[in-house]
Structure 1
Amino acid sequence: MAGRRRWSSEEILDAAAELLRTGDTESFSVRGLAAVLGTDSSSLYRHFRNKTELLRAVADRILLAALEGHRPEGDWKQRITALALRLREAFGRQPQLAAVWGRYASSGTGSRLVMEEILQALRASGLPDEEIPARYHRIVILIAALIAAEAGMSAISPQEFEQGMEHFRVAVLGADPERFPALAHYARDVRPLGVDRRAAFEEILAAQLASIEAGVPPRREASERKGG
């Protein structure tokens, strides 16, 4: 009798990514993945030691795909913004996987490429070396949080989205002005979370980068650099 097929790491990751697109990390299991592949869990554990390692590898592939063909251009703020938008676009195509990146931080090549690009951009900003690691950490947390929040909205069905919009309109436009005076005042201008998310993404990131720029020590005059 022929033995079971041997699956490569890449084939396993392809199947895992497909399962995660149609489900979530909570329901995902190595046993369920093995069943899809027509094998047993032990054969998958030869490639990945546990579920967390497998999920990290899936997330890393998204990062690698986002950075494929990327060439840093512009000043340091433009570089970080361009990178963030590439990550946003990559996870936007596979929103169910965004939570994987936020929860299971990758340590693979894709993750290292993201870290390298942000750290190099921050070095170019003129920040003192000792401040760069903390600033890097804040930027990555912000980008991951924004992407995960947006992905959560993208993952809902059109029917759920419309229901949510209707609930929003009822809750806001029907707010009691005595109990919610500010909400009643701004009711016609307040926008639901699902609207104009790209602009919000860019504005929030720009504000973070502006706060970093404000902390950059002023550059010396050319005469001072020459020792004049």
Structure 2
Amino acid sequence: MKRGRLDQRTIVDAVLELASSEPQARITFKRLGEALGVDATAMYRHFRNKDELTRAALDRLAGIATADARASTGDWHGRLERFVSRMAELSLEHPAIGAEWAMVDPVGPGDVASDEFILEMLSTAGLTGRDLITAYAAVSGFTLAQSAALAQEALVRRDTARDGSIPWISTFGSVDLASFPHVRAHRDELLAIDGLTVYRAGITAILESIARTATAP
């Protein structure tokens, strides 16, 4: 990683690069300093602490996902799907950062831009008032929570690919499924589900529900 003029953008670039190239490594100011060729104390001139830096990195990811979705074509449904898909992809690409979505609120321009985009797409769908805010809460809450969950699994499971392919149910262990007829009947299909399938199924259900609300009398 080449050292340039040290500013907030350069530091966030370094954080995201490390989070991608060293997904299981703990990102510290010391490690960042080594990567940037500066003393770790230099970070404190731009970020007060690790939490502030994490917020900036999450804000960058939100901004990237939003920009990609805005550049996409299609109706509101397809463009929202693009946004939530990019959020999952970016979280899996940078698991040490993406795992923080459920706990950290970035409160930056990228984060606010993502809120604006979701509200704009839902308004385009025809939602107003309480329906609009409820739909926003469903899309935003599900996207952040599940993106964080995917990233967390990728973070702790060192032997797996960062593509959302970790099984949702890895095993039923020694449980006798004779007492659970529905689980037994669908055992193989359940074991075939992975994390990204769950993510896509959830957001599809939410968007289809929004579409029905938008077209209801």
| Fold in common (TM above 0.5) | yes
Q: 1:191 to 1:97 in 2, by over 3 A?
A: same
* One-letter amino acid matched to 1:80: L
Q: Determine the structure 2 residue equivalent to 1:55.
A: 54
1:76-98 Cα shifts (integer Å, max 9, x gaps): 22221121112222223223321
67-76 or 109-118, larger mean C-alpha shift: 67-76
Is 1:110–2:110 an aligned residue pair? yes
CA contact (8 A) 2:28 2:50 kept: yes
Q: Determine the structure 1 residue equivalent to 2:158.
A: 157
Cα separation, 2, equivalents of 1:32 and 1:56 = 18
Q: 1:209 to 1:159 in 2, by over 3 A?
A: closer
1:92-144 Cα shifts (integer Å, max 9, x gaps): 32233211333222222221221111100111121223432232122111011
Q: 1:157 to 1:58 in 2, by over 3 A?
A: same
Cα separation, 2, equivalents of 1:198 and 1:23 = 18
Q: Determine the structure 2 residue equivalent to 1:206.
A: 204
CA contact (8 A) 2:154 2:160 kept: no
110-119 or 198-207, larger mean C-alpha shift: 198-207
Cα offset, 1:6, TM superposition: 6.7
Q: 1:9 to 1:159 in 2, by over 3 A?
A: closer
State the structure with more CA Rg.
Answer: 1
CA contact (8 A) 2:101 2:145 kept: no
Is 1:46–2:45 an aligned residue pair? yes
Cα offset, 1:48, TM superposition: 1.5
Cα offset, 1:206, TM superposition: 1.5
Is 1:168–2:166 an aligned residue pair? no
Cα offset, 1:47, TM superposition: 1.1
Cα separation, 2, equivalents of 1:116 and 1:35 = 37
Cα offset, 1:7, TM superposition: 2.3
SS in 1 for 2:176: coil
CA contact (8 A) 2:54 2:97 kept: no
Cα offset, 1:207, TM superposition: 0.8
Is 1:189–2:174 an aligned residue pair? no
* One-letter amino acid matched to 2:210: I
15-24 or 87-96, larger mean C-alpha shift: 15-24
Alignment RMSD (CA, Å): 3.3
Q: Determine the structure 1 residue equivalent to 2:74.
A: 74
Is 1:95–2:95 an aligned residue pair? yes
Is 1:136–2:139 an aligned residue pair? no
CA contact (8 A) 1:127 1:217 kept: no
SS in 2 for 1:157: coil
Q: 1:105 to 1:72 in 2, by over 3 A?
A: same
Cα offset, 1:31, TM superposition: 5.1
Gaps of 5+ in 1: 220-228
Gaps of 5+ in 2: none
Q: TM-score with structure 2 length normalisation? A: 0.76
* One-letter amino acid matched to 1:211: S
Q: Determine the structure 2 residue equivalent to 1:145.
A: 145
CA contact (8 A) 1:122 1:132 kept: yes
Cα separation, 2, equivalents of 1:44 and 1:58 = 14
Cα separation, 1, equivalents of 2:47 and 2:160 = 38
Equivalent pairs: percent with the same residue? 24
